[in-house]
Amino acid sequence: MRVIPFKAFPDFTETVTLDNIPYRLRFKWNHRGEFWSMRISENDGTIIASSIRVVLNYEMIASYADLELPPGKLFVTDPGGVIKSITKLSLSSGVLQLVYVEEDEL
């Protein structure tokens, strides 16, 4: 299991290696709806899936199983067990964590 770094910017891209494959994760904060969305691309920039809403305690890529996405599980967790929703800064501050569980850990 690994924690994916999250920045305090409203729009940023993070390059990560998940199950030995490099991906680009782009995160955008929707000011009107007050939620984060995510786009997953191959390392060359080819978009695999977009407009994935980042939600708490829900495996976010399972419903896209037919795409070339990482084979593990990606979700936001609350280590303290008290948070009910994601805010603009709750991931970058460490209150919540974006976590990827590798396929061999499932």
Q: pLDDT (tens digit, 0 to 9) for every residue of the chain, 106 residues total?
A: 999 999 999 999 999 999 999 999 999 999 999 999 999 999 999 999 999 999 999 999 999 888 899 999 999 999 988 999 999 999 999 999 999 999 999 9
- The whole-number pLDDT of residue 73 equals 97
CA distance to 20, 60, 66, 70, 98, per residue, from 91 (Å): 24, 15, 28, 21, 7
Q: Could you state, in order of their start, the residue ranges of all structural domains in the chain?
A: 2-105
pTM: 0.93
